[in-house]
């Protein structure tokens, strides 16, 4: 598991991917970075 926060470059790439995906749908996409999940 990664122990460092995402870099500014990673943040920008994620934000752009979300913008591109949202342009193709009526939905809104949220990115959640969690320490762990089930």
User: What mean pLDDT comes out for the span 12-38?
Assistant: 90
pLDDT on residue 3: 66
pTM of the shown model? 0.68
Assign 1 a pLDDT band (cuts: 50, 70, 90). Answer: low
Check if the beta carbon of residue 22 is closer than 8 Å to that of residue 28.
yes
Sign of CA dihedral 3, 36, 9, 7: negative
pLDDT digits (tens, 9 = 90+) for 5-20: 889 999 999 999 999 9
Higher pLDDT pick, 38 / 27: 27
Residues 6+ apart with CB under 8 A from 33: 6
CA angle 21, 18, 20 (to 5 degrees): 40
């Amino acid at each position: 598991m990664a122990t460092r926060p995402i870099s500014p470059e990673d943040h920008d790439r994620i934000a752009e991917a979300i913008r591109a995906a949202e342009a193709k749908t009526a939905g809104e996409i949220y990115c959640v970075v969690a320490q762990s999940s089930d």
